[in-house]
Structure 1
Amino acid sequence: MGVPPAARDHGVVDLQVVEQVAELGAWMAEGGVVVLSGAGLSTDSGIPDYRGPSGSARRSTPMTYQAFTRDPIARRRYWARSHLGWRTIGEAFPNDGHRAVAGLQRCGVVGGIITQNVDGLHQAAGAGDVVELHGNLSRIVCLDCGDRTERELLAARLDEANPGFEAAAIAINADGDAELDDTDLDGFQIVDCLGCGGMLKPDVVYFGETVPPERVSRSFELVCSARTLLVLGSSLTVMSGRRFVLRAVKDGIRVAIVNRGVTRGEPYAGLHIDAPLGIVLPHLAAELSAPVHI
């Protein structure tokens, strides 16, 4: 394979990265690649990571399912933050990394995709067979009647209910939860389900909730059928994603990680490439989808 652009962009050829990318390309050329993606894949789309060098550790405590359903004040504050954060998530576009993964899937190198992200950018880039482990912020679910609606409908209703809401976010997290001063949250009005008047919630998995078992089962099926599990942009800090790496290792499936910064999966990986995904992935896609000349 040719020298990755990443090696030239900083004026210095990192021979270790070049060799690692070439080895990863050889693995992927055999097919049977399943992708496990995390927040680091979406940073080039303007969605901050939690822990990587392109983002900062979040300063607020993530919303829990218990607080959301039991505490009206916590629920109101969450919706004010999430309504503002959606303006960033909802306007994000797929980046070169997302497009490269979709291209690798179209040419048969990548099979299924498991994502910890809730931004829907894999599908927006043209990927299929995506397991959204933690759900999708573009959908809203009623906790009473189960009805699912589009986020844009709710955003319009919240705008109408809060015509004077002009808060500015201090930061936006990868789950779409903005960080605001408490004074900006006063008076924010939430809305309920149009069908039954029940409690509305983004169709995502909160802390304190369990990932739906059918998603977990499908993810394990994909991993167990793979030749290579390719982890993209995830620190694998939480067990929700790391368990698939552990299962792959247990079953003798190769694990490769491309991530900026440290990852808890490094001890289990045959390859760990610390390099920008937006450069490495398009390089791999171009190499692996190029026609063979005889």
Structure 2
Amino acid sequence: METDLQLAQRAALVGAAVALKHFAALADLPREVKADGSIVTAADRAVEAAIREVLADARPDDSVLGEEAGESPGAADRRWIIDPIDGTRLFVAGDDRWLVLIGLEERGEIVAGVAAHPAQGSVWWATRGGGAFEGRVVGGRVVADTPIRAGGSATEPAGSRVGIVPEDWGLDLVAPLVAVAPPQPWTIHPALMVARGELDLAVQTGGQIWDFAATSLIVTEAGGSYSGLSGDERPGAGASVYARDPALRKQALELMSGS
């Protein structure tokens, strides 16, 4: 029987394959604007449906929460959390930095997470207590699993390497931070760059639990630190901060809050 991580990887690759077909035909992709102003496309819904089918077949008793289809009932202590296309605005613009995100929550704690950049052929994953890794996708399979580790020498926000996502949302929130540490360009999600040791800090200026479930675990299992603006280390709605260590994250939160 495949492990939960293996299942999450397989489901992410199935979703990625569906997404890439739509990504290759963007001119014909129907899209609309949700009530919150975000974009949704037929690709988002198709990817989520494909992932849900994989999960339901392998773990029929588990509950599933997805950005597009909401929550389906199941076991109270096991919930799969899906963001079928994280960064739909990037997707429809033909930008290859969008992701497929899948996390598994057990008794309120994220225990497995997979983050794939399908258009780049790369994938990241982690399990609670098992470390964090990155690999490549070749022939529909994950290969070359390489351990990753947060790192760097920054001990305070000033002068640290910072990534902001989205790059043009929530600028008032991050203004105090970017005043002392100009944001760096990013080719993969900034949280993953923190996990890799390529950034010291990353701020995602808004989102829901499906935006953070996988990446929060990957960063913490890589030795980094994660929380919402309140300091809560469980992923949830709002903005989130990823850092190379807890002390730097707390300093960044204090700076942005003006305390």
* Structure-2-length-normalised TM-score: 0.27
Task: Indicate the structure whose relative CO is greater, using CA pairs within 8 Å and at least 6 residues apart.
Answer: 1
- Identify, as 1 or 2, the structure richer in helix: 1
- Identify, as 1 or 2, the structure richer in strand: 2
